[in-house]
Amino acid sequence: MIKRLAATPLIWPVIALLALLALNAYLTPGFTSIRVQDGHLYGSLIDILRNGAPTLLVALGMTLVIASRGIDLSVGAVVAISGALACAHIGSSEDPAGVGTVLTAMAIALAVSAVLGLWNGTLVSILGIQPIIATLVLMTAGRGIALFITEGQIITVSSPPFKVLGAGYFLGLPVAILVSLAVFVVVGLLTRRTALGMLLEAVGINPEASRLAGVRSRTIVFAVYVFCGLCAGIAGLMIASNISAADANNAGLWIEMDAILAVVIGGTSLLGGRYSLTGTVLGALIIQALTTTVYTVGIRPEITLVFKSLVVVLVVLMQSAKFRALFTSWRRRPGRRQVGPTARPTPVTSAGPAVADVTPDHDDTKVRQP
């Protein structure tokens, strides 16, 4: 396992995460301790997992979108809409604490999230609009819609069943963690146990070749946006549930950036194609651990973002084969290096793919349109 990990780019996010956790453990006594209280698990590590759950959910959806050569900037807006819809429904109902009310509210929110994903999917896969532009539409309009739903107010609700998703516990673990974990497992099984993952990667790597090979590229791209919308919807419910309120202005603000970052840190190329869900989980955890570190280390708020960006730059640089080659090429000749997101660091593994008479690797320089 360790050997396999060492051969993949995932080693760097793992190291970064462990380093962050170690730093915290060193600075905060009891950081690693997990205690049981009222049958619930508590501790900083659990907090990181729970607070990172919404970002992780959004990032999972984003991973598949990015694998299809796309991007979804509208997830933050969908988070806001989803939370706003649920709170508006619960707030205006006769029985805000009723389980039925809460389930209806969630169903409405998720259905609308799926429809929003459908909208993105239509723009991208049927009308052929560039993903970044297509989803920018909803990114801008969506927050307006959320504000419209909440009428510009922060809607607070008092509904114990609604609180379960974001702040509740099940079998000692926060429900938020369990939900995001479940989504991760389901997506993992759905894409890797079926052929969906391979077909999705094929579409992301070469859409035209995939179409000619009979892959339903359009359907796949479409589905991926719907799924991403759904993930953002669940995340929106989680965030609203955690604070028992819908804040249309701030819920999910910049979450699209965190999600994209998590995907990239996890080693999935923004150019589409090969993706790693495990990498995305690591990426989301790194981002959350960073936020926690900022608090525990006591970094002044003015430089919080600078600190965050430094760590991110470091992780991304370490993942870049080109960057690592800068160090190795002082000792080695330049010819050996393999460039590209999926390339191995240096030919230490015997499974190096280099073959005599390799076709000209224009792929390195050619930037594909997202």
Partner 1 sequence: MDAEPSNDPEPSNDPENSRPVVEMRDISIGFPGVKALDGVDFRLLAGEVHSLMGENGAGKSTLIKALTGVYGIDSGSIVVDGSPQAFAGPRQSQDAGISTVYQEVNLCPNLTVGENILLGREPRRWGRIDYRRLNRKARELLSELELTIDPRSQLGSHPIAIQQLVAIARATAVSARVLILDEPTSSLDADEVAELFRVIRRLRDAGTAILFVSHFLDQVYAISDRITVLRNGQLVGEYLTAALPRVELVSAMLGRQLDALDEVADSAAMATAVQSDHPLVRIDEFGRTPAVQPVTLDIRRGDILGLAGLLGSGRTELARLLFGADRATSGRLEVNGKTTTLRTPRTAIAHRFAFTSEDRKDEGVVGDLSVRDNLVLALQARRGFARPLSAKTKDALVTKYMEALDIRPRRPETLLKNLSGGNQQKVLLARWMITEPELFILDEPTRGIDVGAKTQIQKLVTELARDGVAVVFISAELDEVTRICNRIAVMRDRRNVALLDSADYENNLTTLIAGSSS
Site residues for partner 1 per CB under 8 A? 193-196, 198-199, 201-202, 205-206, 208-216, 220, 273-274, 333-336, 342, 347, 349-363
The least CB distance from residue 202 to partner 1, in Å, is 5
**Which is closer to partner 1, CB of 128 or CB of 334?**
334
**Which is closer to partner 1, CB of 90 or CB of 202?**
202
Coil/strand/helix, residue 246: strand
User: How far are the Cα atoms of 110, 200, 205, 332 from residue 219, in angstroms, in the given order?
Assistant: 20, 10, 16, 46
**Which is closer to partner 1, CB of 101 or CB of 191?**
191
Cβ atoms of 266 and 276 within 8 Å: the answer is yes
Coil/strand/helix, residue 186: helix
The least CB distance from residue 73 to partner 1, in Å, is 25
User: How far are the Cα atoms of 37, 76, 163, 218 from residue 144, in angstroms, in the given order?
Assistant: 42, 12, 25, 29
**Which is closer to partner 1, CB of 40 or CB of 322?**
322
Look up residue 97 and give its two tokens. 């604490």
Taking the C-alpha atoms of residue 55 and residue 262, their distance in angstroms, rounded to an integer, is 8
The least CB distance from residue 20 to partner 1, in Å, is 30
Hunting for tokens 């840190």 — which residue is that? Answer: 265
Coil/strand/helix, residue 40: strand
Look up residue 32 and give its two tokens. 């690693």
The least CB distance from residue 193 to partner 1, in Å, is 7
Look up residue 267 and give its two tokens. 């080693």
The least CB distance from residue 17 to partner 1, in Å, is 26
**Which is closer to partner 1, CB of 30 or CB of 353?**
353
Reference 79, options 201, 210, 255, 225; nearest CA is 255
The least CB distance from residue 86 to partner 1, in Å, is 32
The least CB distance from residue 320 to partner 1, in Å, is 17
**Which is closer to partner 1, CB of 92 or CB of 194?**
194
The least CB distance from residue 267 to partner 1, in Å, is 13
**Which is closer to partner 1, CB of 286 or CB of 321?**
321
| DSSP H stretches of helix in the chain | 2-7, 11-27, 44-67, 75-92, 99-121, 131-150, 160-167, 175-192, 196-205, 207-212, 217-243, 255-265, 277-297, 304-319, 321-328
**Which is closer to partner 1, CB of 83 or CB of 279?**
279
Q: For the stretch 278-296, what's the b/e string if a residue is b when 16 or more beta carbons lie within 10 angstroms of its beta carbon?
A: bbbbbbbbbbbbbbbbbee
Reference 122, options 211, 219, 227; nearest CA is 219
The least CB distance from residue 350 to partner 1, in Å, is 7
The least CB distance from residue 219 to partner 1, in Å, is 9
Report how far apart the first and last C-alpha atoms of the chain are (Å, whole number). Answer: 33
**Which is closer to partner 1, CB of 98 or CB of 341?**
341
Taking the C-alpha atoms of residue 139 and residue 74, their distance in angstroms, rounded to an integer, is 4
**Which is closer to partner 1, CB of 43 or CB of 347?**
347
Taking the C-alpha atoms of residue 287 and residue 256, their distance in angstroms, rounded to an integer, is 13
